[in-house]
Amino acid sequence: MNLCVASVVCGLCISIALALIQSSSAQESARTAAYLGFDRNNYPGNSNLKLLRQTFSFAGYWLNNPPGAQSNTWQSKRLVLESAGFGFLVLFNGRLYKELQRNPAELGRSDGQAAAASARHESFPPRTIIFLDIEEGGRMLPEQKAYIYAWVDAVTAAGFRAGVYCSGIPAKEGKTKVVTAEDIQQNAAGRKIVYFVTNDVCPPSPGCVFPRKTPQPAESGISFSDVWQFAQSPKRKAFAAKCPANYNADGNCYPPGVDPALKLHVDVESASSSDPSQGR
């Protein structure tokens, strides 16, 4: 091989190697990308969406009344949010243990069907992930498990995908500790469930911050989580007492540029997708 040909071949090899390195780097960046989102019980109002979109890629979207609420102000807002550039974290408020004393499995099926019907009414596409909001933590009792898995089965049978919002914080149980997310996964009998975990304990939570480098959901302590809620409003003193002093003086978490007088406080999440429910 003469020097001219060898030079061309060498240059080609270098070009191919650089292209492979760049491709590998791009794939790695895509795998490690994380996105900020928010949720709140009350719809923030159309006039605030542009401001919120400056910080957040996705928004929580309730299909029924949020915890403690008597009405759902998110109804019929999907197209407005999508037009503003938001992805979705679709939520369905589940039952408390005290409501599950009679036939929890049947109640789970009924609520799962109701969640699917509401998702269709709100024009979410098939296979959108709907997250069941489980407000109580620790080990799930038999009635709770019967309800959760019946709900998951009903949502899946209706053509959607099922997720759960639950605690990622270890809860004391005698001399051991139980993490709700792990308890649900270990007893799911092979069901495909997407996990949205809450852990506002610092660390691993950074507190009420909106970093350019968004923390990965796995940094919550739950390696299989797809979404991590790392700040809540108001600040939960029992869990977030050791967090930096980055919450507002009233205890709430406000996005950048938002006047606390507006009371536009949020819970803050990170996700591995800008549309964690794939609801666009």
Place of tokens 């998110």: 74
Distance CA 92, CA 62 (A): 6
Identify the helix (H) or strand (E) that includes residue 157.
helix 142-157
Chain center to CA of 124: 17
Residue ranges of E strands in the chain: 35-39, 58-62, 87-93, 129-133, 161-167, 171-173, 176-178, 194-198, 227-231, 267-271
pLDDT in tens, 204-246: 999 999 988 999 999 999 999 999 999 999 999 999 999 999 9
More confident residue, 13 or 217: 217
Banded model confidence at residue 7, pLDDT cuts 50, 70, 90: very low
pLDDT of residue 1: 52
pTM to 2 decimal places: 0.88
Query: Is pLDDT of 29 > 50?
Result: no
Q: Would you state the structure tokens that stand for residue 97, as one six-digit string?
A: 């243990």
**21-25, 101-105, 162-166: range with lowest mean pLDDT:** 21-25
What is the per-residue pLDDT across 260-271, written as a single tens digit (0 to 9) for each?
999 999 999 999
Span 91-143, pLDDT tens digits: 999 999 999 999 999 999 999 999 999 999 999 999 999 999 999 999 999 99
pLDDT tens readout for residues 30-73: 457 899 999 999 999 999 999 999 999 999 999 999 999 999 99
